[in-house]
Amino acid sequence: MTAGKKALMVWGGWDGHEPKKCVEVFAPFLEEKGFEVIISDTLDVFLQTELMGGLDLIVPAWTLGKITGEQAKSLLEAVKSGTGIAGWHGGMCDAFRENTEYQFMTGGQWVAHPGGVIDYTVNIINHKDPITAGLSDFKITSEQYYLHTDPGNEVLATTVFDDRFDPWIKGTVMPVVWKRKYGAGRVFYSSLGHVAKDFDVPEAREIVKRGMLWASKCDC
C-alpha cells in the first residue's frame, strides 16, 4: 500500500457508456492500493485549486459534453505539472470534441466504431512494459474503436480491422492501449470499456488497473 496518494475520478456526460458504473469498478481497487479516492459528477471539481494541486491521478469518465476554458485550463495544467491521467474508451478519448488541446494531451480522438458492438481480438505488442507484461492476446465483444492517434504515443496493444463492415479499412492496425507524456504528467489510455461489463474480461480490467498505477507513479 502507498500512503498519501490521492485520486480524482470524474464521471458524467453521455450515460450510454455507464460512466458511474465504470468508475465504481475501479474505485475500490485504488482504495485497496492506499489511495484517497474523490469521486465527482461535475467538471467544476477542476476549479478547486487546492484539490487539483494535491492529486496524483485523475481518472475521467466523461463522454462528449462541454468543458469550459477555465475547467480545461485547470485540468491540463494539473497534468502538465505532473499529475497522472488514466482513462478508457469514450470517457477519455471522445470527450470535449471542440477542445483540441485536450485531445493533444490524451493522444487520440474516437472517430468511428464500424459494426457497433462486435467480436474482435486485442493483440499485445509490448510484452515487457509493466502495463501489459504477462498478458496474451485476447478476444472481446465491444466496440472496436477507430481513432485518430498521435504518432508519438507509446503503443502497447493493437487491433486489426477486417472487411466485415467497412472494407476499405481492412488490415488497418489500430492502437488500443497506449501511454505518453504531457509535460511532466503521465497519460494512459485504453479504448476498451464501452460499458461496465466489458471489464469482466480479465485482461481489459487488468490493463486499466496497471495503467492507473503507472500514470500515478505508484510503486504499489
- For the stretch 17-45, pLDDT in tens is 999 999 999 999 999 999 999 999 999 99
Counting the structural domains of the chain, the total is 1
Residue 183 lies in a domain: yes
pLDDT tens-digit profile of 158-201?
Answer: 999 999 999 999 999 999 999 999 999 999 999 999 999 999 99
**Residue 142 burial (CB count, 10 A):** 22
Instruction: Note whether residue 137 is domain-resident.
Output: no
- Asked if residue 64 lies in contact with residue 95, where contact means CB atoms within 8 angstroms, the answer is yes
31, part of any domain: yes
Distance (Å, rounded) from C-alpha 129 to C-alpha 186?
Answer: 14
Please tell me the predicted confidence (pLDDT) of residue 104: 98
Q: What is the pLDDT of residue 1?
A: 44
Residue 133 lies in a domain: no
Q: What is the spatial distance between Cα 112 and Cα 122, in angstroms, rounded to a whole number?
A: 17
Residue 67 sits in a domain whose CATH number is 3.40.50.880
1 domain-assigned: no
Residue 130 lies in a domain: no
Whether the pLDDT of residue 10 is over 90: the answer is: yes
- Dist. CA 46–CA 72, nearest whole Å: 8
pLDDT, residue 4, reads: 85
Domain of 32, in residue numbers:
6-109+176-215
Whether the predicted pLDDT of 3 surpasses 60 = no
Summarised one tens digit per residue, pLDDT across range 90-130 is 999 999 999 999 999 999 999 999 999 999 999 999 999 99
How is residue 32 written as a grid cell?
A: 485497496
The pairing of strands 108-112 and 185-190 is: unpaired
For residue range 41-83, list pLDDT tens digits in order: 999 999 999 999 999 999 999 999 999 999 999 999 999 999 9
Answer whether 0.95 is exceeded by the pTM: yes
Mean pLDDT of 85-93: 98
Residue 140, domain member (yes or no) = no
Is there a domain that residue 143 lies in? Answer: no
